[in-house]
Amino acid sequence: MIMKKLKIFLTFAIITAFFGCEVDENDSLDSVANGPAPTNISALFTITQDNTGLVTIAPRGEGVGVYEVYYGDDTTEAGKVLAGKTISHNYAEGNYTVKIVGKSVTGKTAEYTHDLDVTFIAPENLVVTVTPVAGNTFSVNASAKADYEAFFEVWFGESPDEEPVQFNEGETIKHTYAAIGTYEVKVVAYSGGVATTQATQSVTIVNPLLMPLNFENPTLNYAFGDFGGSATTVVNNPDASGINTSTRVGKHLKNPGEVWAGTSILFDEKFDFSNKNSFRMKVWSPAANVPVTLKIENGGNADINHEKQQFTTVANDWEYLTFNFSDVDQAQEYSRLVLFFNLGTSGTGETYYFDDVELINTVNPLPVTFEEEGLVLTGFGNADGSIIDNPDATGINTSPKVGKMLKNPGETWAGVSVPLIAPIDFSVQKKLKIKVWSPAAGIPVLLKVEKHNDNSIAMEKTVNTTVANGWEELTYDYTDAINNTIDYQLISVFFNFGTAGTGESYYFDDIKQAN
């Protein structure tokens, strides 16, 4: 009687320990009973190399409390293995189908079968496959197959004291290397005998230089080819502000030397212009109006090249420069990037910085809404240009950001310039519209489009405001003046043209094309 009570007590204690001391709505016996079945059942089979046929089975799976192992030979009773444990069994030479059943605490099951070949001769016809992992240049996948094998071990050659990884035929082992280099991957195939069979395969780990170029990868080799007296390195960002708060940037020191001094860098794949037509780059220059030339070349033949030039618009600050290569010969291959800062002028030891070189698809640069990243306004004639929150978000203009021109006392031709990321295409739409806010009606507003860095090549029109202290849209018709072969890439706005400023403010927004 005492023994029976003791058994009942122990059973109750085990149930209590398993399910906890308290059952509520979120942790009820029903929720346990309705739990999921085990998943991902498999096993690792290893065999001792002593002709005994002793096989160790290590079941694996998720949501399993206990495994049942059906050995596939004359053994009638299944072996039972707790999760995380192994079980051993002696086999005679032969081929066996081993079944492993994983059981959850609710009694639900899942099965896995394995074709086990037990032999005491050395494995034959060993084939090792090592392939790169897509999207990860430092990782490889290894697998193997052989006749008469029981299991494999693989060493990836990264360390002299490396521990091998065991696996069975049909499994794939992933390994990630810490550094670039060439490694010997060794795979040994084991049977139940003393003799083994092994194979090696060389693996070269590279970290290719691809677009975009951002200098943040410490394992990449940024091999600059400087020429003409320049020196280019990767450094900490000296001005992590504005549009560029990245950690590392390219630094170009233009020492006294050749006027064509510059640098180049070779990429490990050709530039793809199939759906992207422009290079965009962040540039920091010690002066505005500095020419920046971007040239691309064939990796093996510098005579196959194409180049574009842009000009900086600000000093001592980061800005975007965009180089439109829509006319590039796509029948050629280009993989080398060449940069010239202030081409045509000897260096004085000045420093330029560049970062985030990327291929993008640029279309017509209008409209300008002042919500764009990296847009900078430049005032002239003692006017100040800036992008601010809309001071009068009513009527036809409720957008968050607008351009502002503060016309200080100074020149009668004071104004603000808006650099564009690409030339305006006037082939179809030949009018420009702009929303303006003026403190008075009857104010002449001159809108001028210019060839970047050559304001002598320009088109301009003047339209007067008709309202005071409110937004209106002005239209400028350039139909009679357009020469669409000219790259008009700068818009200048002159408020109250011909009259000196008094410190008044004007606002403008949404510069767009129309017919």
332-346, pLDDT tens digit by residue? Answer: 999 999 999 999 999
Given a cut of 90, is residue 374 above it in pLDDT? no
Instruction: Answer yes or no: is 216 within a domain.
Output: no
Q: Are residues 27 and 39 in the same domain?
A: no
Three-class secondary structure of residue 348 per DSSP: coil
> Residue 245 contacts by C-beta under 8 Å, 6 or more apart in sequence?
237
- Please give the residue that has the higher pLDDT: either 208 or 96: 96
Bridge partners of residue 102, in order along the sequence: 67, 110
> Residue 122 contacts by C-beta under 8 Å, 6 or more apart in sequence?
148, 191, 193, 195, 196, 197
Contact 353, 407 (CB under 8 A): no
Q: Are residues 178 and 260 in the same domain?
A: no
Instruction: Answer yes or no: is 214 within a domain.
Output: no
Instruction: Answer yes or no: is 373 within a domain.
Output: no
Instruction: Answer yes or no: is 182 within a domain.
Output: yes
Cα–Cα distance measured from residue 465 to residue 437, given in angstroms and rounded to the nearest whole number: 8
Cα–Cα distance measured from residue 357 to residue 320, given in angstroms and rounded to the nearest whole number: 10
153-193 confidence digits (pLDDT tens): 999 999 999 999 999 999 999 999 988 889 999 999 999 88
Burial of residue 125 (CB within 10 Å: 0-12, 13-18, 19+) is: exposed
50-104 confidence digits (pLDDT tens): 889 999 999 999 999 999 999 999 999 999 999 999 999 999 999 999 999 999 9
Bridge partners of residue 296, in order along the sequence: 306, 337
Which of 115, 145, 160 corresponds to the end of one domain? 115
Q: What is the residue-wise DSSP string for 134-188?
A: TTEEEEEEEEEEEES-SEEEEE-SS-TTPPPEEE-TT--EEEE-SS-EEEEEEEE
Average pLDDT (119-128) is 94
- Please give the residue that has the higher pLDDT: either 489 or 26: 489
Q: Are residues 424 and 492 in the same domain?
A: yes
Tell me the two tokens of residue 370.
């002042």
Instruction: Answer yes or no: is 317 within a domain.
Output: yes
Q: Are residues 191 and 314 in the same domain?
A: no
Q: Are residues 236 and 199 in the same domain?
A: no
CATH number at residue 496: 2.60.120.260
If you ran DSSP here, which 8-state letter would residue 35 be given?
P
Q: Are residues 268 and 146 in the same domain?
A: no
Q: Are residues 145 and 187 in the same domain?
A: yes
Which of 65, 94, 115 corresponds to the end of one domain? 115
Instruction: Answer yes or no: is 474 within a domain.
Output: yes
Contact 42, 62 (CB under 8 A): no
Tell me the two tokens of residue 70.
């059906």
Instruction: Answer yes or no: is 217 within a domain.
Output: no
Q: Are residues 24 and 144 in the same domain?
A: no
Mean per-residue pLDDT of the chain: 89
Given a cut of 60, is residue 15 above it in pLDDT? no
Predicted confidence band of residue 35 (pLDDT cuts 50, 70, 90): confident
Phi/psi-derived region of residue 476, left when phi > 0, alpha when psi is between -120 and 50, beta in every other case:
beta
In the chain, how many domains are there? 5
Q: Are residues 435 and 508 in the same domain?
A: yes
421-437 confidence digits (pLDDT tens): 778 888 778 899 999 99
Three-class secondary structure of residue 96 per DSSP: strand
Predicted confidence band of residue 511 (pLDDT cuts 50, 70, 90): very high
Alpha-carbon distance values, 239 to 114, 244, 284, 316 (Å): 61, 8, 9, 9
Burial of residue 289 (CB within 10 Å: 0-12, 13-18, 19+) is: middle
- Find the domain containing 171 and state its range: 124-205
Instruction: Answer yes or no: is 509 within a domain.
Output: yes
Average pLDDT (197-206) is 93
Which helix (H) or strand (E) covers residue 18, if one does?
Answer: helix 2-19
Considering only 2-16, 127-141, 359-373, 427-441, which range has the smallest mean pLDDT? Answer: 2-16
pLDDT at 2: 36
Which of 95, 115, 135 corresponds to the end of one domain? 115
Given a cut of 60, is residue 208 above it in pLDDT? yes
Contact 282, 354 (CB under 8 A): yes
Tokens 């020429």 sit at which residue?
227
Contact 432, 515 (CB under 8 A): no
pTM for this structure? 0.52
Question: Residue 256, preceding bond cis, omega within 30 degrees?
Answer: no
Q: Are residues 26 and 41 in the same domain?
A: no
Cα–Cα distance measured from residue 79 to residue 62, given in angstroms and rounded to the nearest whole number: 19
Tell me the two tokens of residue 397.
């203009």
pLDDT at 20: 42
Tell me the two tokens of residue 296.
């691309």
Q: Are residues 130 and 64 in the same domain?
A: no
Predicted confidence band of residue 481 (pLDDT cuts 50, 70, 90): confident
Which helix (H) or strand (E) covers residue 10, if one does?
Answer: helix 2-19
| φ, ψ of residue 342 in degrees (nearest 5) | 55, 50
Predicted confidence band of residue 453 (pLDDT cuts 50, 70, 90): low
Cα–Cα distance measured from residue 6 to residue 135, given in angstroms and rounded to the nearest whole number: 61
17-33 confidence digits (pLDDT tens): 333 444 444 444 455 56
Tokens 């009527």 sit at which residue?
395
Q: Are residues 389 and 492 in the same domain?
A: yes
Given a cut of 70, is residue 123 above it in pLDDT? yes
266-294 confidence digits (pLDDT tens): 998 999 998 888 898 999 999 988 999 99
The fraction of the chain above a pLDDT of 90, given in percent, is 69
387-424 confidence digits (pLDDT tens): 999 999 999 999 999 999 999 998 999 999 988 877 88
